[in-house]
Amino acid sequence: MKEWTGNLGAQEYIVRVLTMDQLENILRIQDVVLDTIENKGFLSPVTREEFTHSIENRLMVGVFVEDELIAFRALAKPEIDEDHLGYDIGLSTEQLEKVVYQEITNVHPDYRGFGLQKKLGLIVMEMLDASPYSHVCATVAPFNIASLKDKISQGMVIGALKNKYANMLRYVFYKKLHEDRELGGEVIEVKMEDTEKQQQLLAEGWIGTGMLQKDTVWYVSYEEKGTYL
């Protein structure tokens, strides 16, 4: 079984694919993170059954320090139903079987500040590059800046902005695996708070490709999608 190693200050860590014996520890870390997060609307908790499904499909990796689980990142093979994120970005029903979700990343508060979310993101993308999946999708709440930066750093783009999960506004990110995206031409910067303008651009075939801050205002950069789907 492949492992990845690194350092958190003076401590060494190991990243490995998680197995069912870690399920209770996974749930414990999620509870700790939920207790400490300021904006509860940013994080949709994952159920025991959903974590079990990800583990059984070998779609979860965890960070261990001295054999203690301190962080994890989960992918998920979603049900094919009317809420599938693939539909939101324009995929056909036939394509949905090869779509995987980036589900959640949790880092124990004692180990924040070491860039573990980004490190785990690189690892799961490495796993997906060697997988049969064609697309990876994810949702992020507007103004959840850390998670937005995380998805953009992985080369994911915004394909939709709409209400998901009991009418909570979410960006729908995606990345086409095994194929590099050609850079577009014109770039339009839109205030993140301007939901209507962003939805208009997305409906017209643009995708969100970056974000930036000017003074205290956050903007999202949009480019024409072209053939990237």
**Coil vs helix vs strand at 226:** coil
Say if CB 71 and CB 116 are below 8 A apart: yes
pLDDT tens for 207-222 read 999 999 999 999 999 9
Contacts with 47 (C-beta within 8 Å, 6 or more apart), sequence order: none
Show the tokens assigned to 92: 């056909």
- The phi and psi torsions of 173 (rounded to 5 degrees) equal -95, 155
Fold of 3-224: Aminopeptidase (3.40.630)
What's the whole-number average pLDDT of the chain? 93
| Residue 85 clears pLDDT 90, i.e. is over it | yes
Say if CB 156 and CB 138 are below 8 A apart: yes
pLDDT tens for 94-139 read 999 999 999 899 999 999 999 998 899 999 999 998 899 999 999 9
| Distance from C-alpha of 47 to C-alpha of 27, rounded to nearest angstrom | 8
Mean pLDDT, residues 62-90 taken together: 95
Q: Which residue has the tokens 């500040």?
A: 113
Task: Say what the pLDDT of residue 183 is.
Answer: 75
Instruction: Identify the band that residue 167 occupies on the pLDDT scale cut at 50, 70 and 90.
Output: confident
Show the tokens assigned to 162: 């709409």
- N- to C-terminal Cα distance for the chain? 33
Task: Say what the pLDDT of residue 157 is.
Answer: 97
Question: For residue 222, what are the CA distances in angstroms to 51, 209, 211?
Answer: 34, 6, 9
Q: Look at 180 and 193; give whichever has higher pLDDT.
A: 193
Task: Say what the pLDDT of residue 41 is.
Answer: 67
**Coil vs helix vs strand at 215:** coil
| Distance from C-alpha of 117 to C-alpha of 29, rounded to nearest angstrom | 14
Task: Say what the pLDDT of residue 1 is.
Answer: 66
Contacts with 5 (C-beta within 8 Å, 6 or more apart), sequence order: 12, 13, 14, 15
Q: Which residue has the tokens 């490495």?
A: 126
Say if CB 75 and CB 101 are below 8 A apart: yes
DSSP 165: T
pTM above 0.85? yes
Instruction: Identify the band that residue 39 occupies on the pLDDT scale cut at 50, 70 and 90.
Output: confident
| Distance from C-alpha of 60 to C-alpha of 128, rounded to nearest angstrom | 12
Q: What percent of the chain has pLDDT over 90?
A: 80
Contacts with 104 (C-beta within 8 Å, 6 or more apart), sequence order: 30, 43, 44, 46, 73, 74
